[in-house]
Amino acid sequence: MSIVFYDVTTLYFEIDDQDDLRKTGFSKEGRHQNPQIVLGLLVSVGGYPLAYEIFEGNKYEGHTMLPVIDAFKKKYELGKMVVIADSGLLSNENIIDLQGNGYEFILGARIKNEKQPLQKQILSLKLKNGESALLKKDEQTRLIISYSLSRHKKDQANRERGLLKLEKQVKSGRLTKANINNRGYNKYLKLDGEIKVDIDRDKFTADGKWDGLKGYLTNTTLSKEEIIENYNHLWRIEKAFRVSKHDLKIRPIDHRLHRRIEAHVCIAFAAYKVFKELERQLYEMKANLSPEKAIEIAKTIYSLKVLNPLNNEVVEQTLILNEEQKYLSQLFNF
């Protein structure tokens, strides 16, 4: 429990009316017109769900982290904890709160937003594939910068895809002054003359210097390798959200009352606990099955109960009809 991971997602409702809990806000699923709730989830290194909380749909995700972590720490009387979260939860307010409450942290850093002297230091590192460097940001925090060739290729491909989309929009004449902002790849737009919107290719090229670079902000004493390795476990919380939304069908939420919405999310949380325990047991048995596949097979196994009308005896028989079902029944001895 010394290392915990925190992230946030949104769950929308297919209704128009809002109330004290279900409100429209920034939707991670692109459903900005739908009322939603914000779900904060805390997981362990192995991806086991530890705690969760639901918030109003318009609540800023950065304000959800401390209440969940504090409540979990207090409930189980835990000592020193390292909190790991992505850059979406990086804010000066969160950093001050974490430090003030005695937490250590590893947060995804927004390295392009650092002050100019630090930006110059980062770009002068000339890291090779797999290499990392440690920079001192202030008296309490350090910045770890890593470089990955595969990330470089992905960043470059995304920028070029975004540029191509902008070029088509510029050519069609659909873009106006209102489109010039820092949302996504719109940052490459500029005003050419009085009314013409064009692409700022110098800015596009300058952005290429950041391809492949990833930053991590921390106040821990862990080595840069340990920091990167621990941060990379964040994919487990993304998997938790994915499994909950799709495999466990946390959506749609067909409830209106606050307590029923809470109960629905609680059931999904408990179900994910069971899912993770199945995953653990399959791993320990070295089974050649994923949890999803094991559940799929289990759904096809039926048990029959037959009542003998002559003596009122009940005979029960589980039907194992194919090799997959046989393999699963042998694993769990049923």
pLDDT at 77 over 70: yes
11 and 49 in a single domain? The answer is: yes
Q: How confident is the model at residue 212 (pLDDT cuts 50, 70, 90)?
A: very high
Overall domain count for the chain: 3
Give a yes or no: residue 62 inside a domain.
yes
Same domain, 16 and 139: yes
How long is the chain? Answer: 334
Same domain, 297 and 188: no
Residue 178 has pLDDT above 70, yes or no: no
| Dist. CA 306–CA 316, nearest whole Å | 6
Bridge partners (DSSP) of residue 8 are 40
Nearest partner of 60 among 99, 106, 104, 94, judged by Cα: 94
User: What integer pLDDT is reported at residue 195 of this predicted model?
Assistant: 63
Together in a domain, 304 and 165: no
Whether residue 225 is found in the same domain as residue 193: no
194: pLDDT strictly greater than 80: no
Q: What is the mean pLDDT of residues 164-172?
A: 85
Domain boundary among 209, 224, 251: 209
Same domain, 235 and 272: yes
Kindly report, residue by residue over 10-56, the tens digit of the pLDDT. 999 988 889 999 999 988 888 888 899 999 999 998 889 999 999 99
Q: In the structure, what pLDDT confidence band is assigned to residue 293 with cuts at 50, 70 and 90?
A: very high
The verdict on residue 285 lying in a domain is no
Residues 118-165 pLDDT 10s: 999 999 999 999 999 999 998 899 999 999 999 999 999 999 998 998
Q: Could you list the residue range(s) of the whole structural domain that residue 201 is in?
A: 151-209
Alpha carbon 271 to its chain centroid, in Å, reads 19
Residue 241 lies in a domain: yes
pLDDT confidence bin for 84, thresholds 50/70/90: very high
Percent of the chain clearing pLDDT 70 (strictly above): 96
Q: Tell me the whole-structure pTM to 2 decimals.
A: 0.83
Q: What is the mean pLDDT of residues 60-85?
A: 92
41 and 141 inside one domain: yes
Which two tokens mark 137?
């940001």
Q: Is residue 15 part of a domain?
A: yes
Decide if pLDDT at 88 tops 90: no
**For position 67, what pLDDT does the model report?**
92
**What mean pLDDT is reported for the chain?**
90
The sign of the dihedral angle between the CA atoms of 75, 78, 83, 84 is negative
Residue 286 lies in a domain: no
Q: Which pLDDT band, with edges at 50, 70 and 90, does 193 fall under? A: low
- pLDDT for 17: 86
Q: Is the residue at 89 inside a domain?
A: yes
253 with 327, same domain: the answer is no
Say yes or no: 70 and 14 in one domain: yes
Q: Residue 228 above 70 pLDDT?
A: yes
> 284 lies in a domain?
no
pLDDT for residue 171: 82
Residues 120 and 258 reside in one and the same domain? yes
125, 22: one domain: yes
Q: Are residues 105 and 29 in the same domain?
A: yes
CA distance 104 to 85: 12
